[in-house]
Amino acid sequence: MSVSEPVERLMKLFSRFPGVGDKTARRFALFLLQQPSDFSSELSSTISLMRDRTFCCSICGNLTTEDPCSICSDPFRDRKTLCVMENVEDMLSMEQSGAYSGLYFILGGRVSPMDGQDIEPERLARLKEYSGKGNFLELIIATNPSVEGDLTFFAVLDAVRDTGIKTTRLAFGLPLGGTIGYADRVTLHASIESRVEVRVQDNS
């Protein structure tokens, strides 16, 4: 072993993080050693605090330190729209985009029999109950444009079928800010297939 045992252990722990390989794990560990000891103490206490105090919101499934979470208890959110997402990571991306101001429901999984993954029936039952009682006018199923995203979409659609709420799915096609001239043929085909009708407003 070329480094001390604690450093080696820390490197192994870092390398279990998603997207972190051996080299990055080594860089992280050595970076920590170069910082004042306060930094390591703060990091470890923050991690412990996060583990102790973070739990899932009883309404939407978001990670929170208070129940209900800051989104569910925000009086300024649009309470007529519910966006169903696979996981908290997707929800955070949506929040950061600022594109959506309604409420969320986190499924906490996706449907992929090949990988042995499924959405817990209790979670789908909870979604049905929540969407039925919540006076929602629209339910957005925001799953990925992939086979697994489609399977998850249909599982959710099946669960909320009886609620009678208008249900939509995210669109896919040309990237915003891009140009048709630079779009690849696959993207152009997808955007042609998912084109939308333009409503002409009569302003006269």
Partner 1 sequence: MKITLTQWEGFRNLKPRRLEWAEGLHLLLGPNGSGKTNILEAFHVLTGWGSLKGERVLDLKSWSDPGRGTFLAAWFTGEEELEVKAGIGSRVITKKGGSSIQSSQLRPLVPSLIFLPNDLSLVEGSPATRRRLLDRLCALLFPVYALRLHEYGRALRQRNAALRQGKNLAATAKVLAPLAAWIWACRLAAADLIRNGLSEAGGLMPPGITVELKRGSRGFEDLLLDFWESLKAFQNQERATGVCPVGPQRDDLVIRYGEREVVRCFSRGYRRRVAVSLLLSSGWAVERKMRRKPVLLLDEVMAELDHEGREKLISVLLKTGWQVFATTAEACTPEWPGRTWSVNAGRIEER
Q: Which of 118, 138, 170, 183 binds partner 1 (CB under 8 A)?
A: 118
Asked if 172 touches partner 1 (CB under 8 A), the answer is no
Q: Which of 7, 148, 170, 174 binds partner 1 (CB under 8 A)?
A: 148
Q: What mask of x and - would describe binding to partner 1 in positions 183 to 202, judged by CB under 8 A?
A: -xxx-xxx------------
Which residue type, as a one-letter code, is found at position 13?
L
Q: Where are the beta strands (DSSP E) in the chain?
A: 55-56, 63-64, 78-85, 102-106, 138-142, 166-169
- What does the block give as tokens for 21? 């390989």
Q: Considering beta carbons, is residue 146 or 168 the nearer one to partner 1?
A: 146
Residue-wise burial string across 139-152, b where 16 or more C-beta atoms lie within 10 A, e elsewhere: bbbbbeeeebbebb
Q: Considering beta carbons, is residue 138 or 150 the nearer one to partner 1?
A: 150
Asked if 155 touches partner 1 (CB under 8 A), the answer is yes
User: Which residues share a beta bridge with 103?
Assistant: 82
Q: Which of 11, 29, 82, 111 binds partner 1 (CB under 8 A)?
A: 111
Check if the beta carbon of residue 107 is closer than 8 Å to that of residue 152.
yes
> From the CB of 100, what's the least distance to partner 1, in Å?
25
User: Which residues share a beta bridge with 81?
Assistant: 138
In whole angstroms, give the CA distance from residue 61 to residue 66. 12
Asked if 114 touches partner 1 (CB under 8 A), the answer is yes
> From the CB of 6, what's the least distance to partner 1, in Å?
33
Pick from 93, 96, 106: which is nearest to 64 by CA?
106
Q: What mask of x and - would describe binding to partner 1 in positions 1 to 40, judged by CB under 8 A?
A: ----------------------------------------
In whole angstroms, give the CA distance from residue 87 to residue 188. 29
Q: Considering beta carbons, is residue 15 or 112 the nearer one to partner 1?
A: 112
Which positions lie near partner 1, rule CB under 8 A?
111-114, 118, 146-148, 150-151, 154-155, 158, 184-186, 188-190
